[in-house]
Amino acid sequence: MVFDFDWVDAFADAPFGGNGCAVVHGGAVLSDATCMAYVRETSLVECTFTGPSEVADFKVKYYLASREIPFAGHPTIATVAALLHRKIIGEGALTLETGAGIVAVEVAGGLITMTQVAPEFGARVPADVVAQVGGVAADAIIAPPQVVSTGLPFCITVLRDRAALEALRFDAAGFAHYCRHLGLSSDDLMEPYWITLEGATAAGDTFARLLLAPPSPPEDPFTGSATGAAASYLWANGLIDGPRYTAEQGHGMGRPGQAQVEVLGPRDAIAGVKVAGRGVVVMSGQAYLPE
């Protein structure tokens, strides 16, 4: 079967920044095995596969190299950027059917804003358990780590400074211990999301990293779903003064990415999170894939 695809750098305003995602138009009909094999073929963290929807404007399926996931942030930006590139949509509002529910999107002036669902606050994880995953000391963590989801769950872990963030090294044994602590397998769990309350540049308010376990690449350049979860955590715990800020990620990888973030609602009753960024198409073509 032949499918058109676009390779998009999301949360970037120029090629080779932010996080890449291949968008396979009409690919939602493909099997899980084919979708995962396609992700592995690209060496990207995630790819999306679109299709028609009875409840939204488009259906979007999200895949890692190892499994399907219900939602992902940078692939959402990439998918909408690809639809714009092909003139399938124009500026304005649209909705996407995802495994995490209906995601509302607004496009204005090339800026793509997705509204992630209201956060679910899950288990708190001891700092020493999370610290082992990143190979850092527990006292580098300045707030109680907690699993938070705005469509995909991450353990939000706030580090004291950029030096601690840059010192992170993924520890497979530490991740296995972390999974056992939560009573979940690595197939059911995303890695911790590490964030510090200073930007990578003067324009940023936060800087973050996501280190990944195989078979994914070692690090995610920009994580839009975790950005929404982190924003909810920071706002709910009084770690940011206002609900709007600029999030940065990927600079240490040579792939700088940036998002404009707005938490909706008061600290004790968050209704959702807006995460906005741009997407740049860097290549397009056709994929020849088995059903």
User: Is there a single domain that holds both residue 127 and residue 80?
Assistant: no
User: Is there a single domain that holds both residue 255 and residue 241?
Assistant: yes
User: Is there a single domain that holds both residue 23 and residue 153?
Assistant: no
Q: Is 67 helix (H, G, I), strand (E, B) or coil?
A: coil
Burial of 169 (0-12, 13-18, 19+ CB in 10 A): exposed
Q: How does DSSP classify residue 141?
A: B
What integer pLDDT is reported at residue 75 of this predicted model? 98
What integer pLDDT is reported at residue 171 of this predicted model? 97
- Count of CB atoms within 10 A of residue 113's CB? 19
User: Is there a single domain that holds both residue 44 and residue 75?
Assistant: yes
What integer pLDDT is reported at residue 48 of this predicted model? 98
What integer pLDDT is reported at residue 1 of this predicted model? 94
Mean pLDDT by runs of 10 across the 291 residues of the chain is 98 96 98 98 97 98 96 97 97 97 96 97 98 98 97 96 97 96 87 98 98 95 97 98 98 97 98 98 97 76
User: Is there a single domain that holds both residue 157 and residue 91?
Assistant: no
| 85: its two tokens | 């590139």
What integer pLDDT is reported at residue 161 of this predicted model? 97
What integer pLDDT is reported at residue 76 of this predicted model? 98
Q: Are 78 and 86 in contact (CB under 8 A)?
A: no
**Structural domain span for residue 282:** 2-115+278-288
User: Is there a single domain that holds both residue 97 and residue 228?
Assistant: no
Domain count, the chain: 2
What integer pLDDT is reported at residue 239 of this predicted model? 98
Report CA Rg, the chain. 18
User: Is there a single domain that holds both residue 222 and residue 244?
Assistant: yes
User: Is there a single domain that holds both residue 43 and residue 131?
Assistant: no
Q: 């309350």: which residue's tokens?
A: 197
User: Is there a single domain that holds both residue 108 and residue 137?
Assistant: no
User: Is there a single domain that holds both residue 145 and residue 263?
Assistant: yes
Q: Are 276 and 259 in contact (CB under 8 A)?
A: yes
What integer pLDDT is reported at residue 222 of this predicted model? 97
CATH number of the domain where residue 33 is located: 3.10.310.10
Q: Which residues contact 129 (CB under 8 A, 6 or more apart)?
A: 177, 178, 181
pTM higher than the cut 0.85: yes
Helices (H), the chain: 32-42, 73-85, 127-134, 162-166, 172-182, 224-236
User: Is there a single domain that holds both residue 148 and residue 49?
Assistant: no
User: Is there a single domain that holds both residue 100 and residue 170?
Assistant: no
Q: Which residues contact 232 (CB under 8 A, 6 or more apart)?
A: 119, 121, 148, 150, 263, 270, 273
Rounded to whole angstroms, the Cα distance separating 203 from 263 reads 19
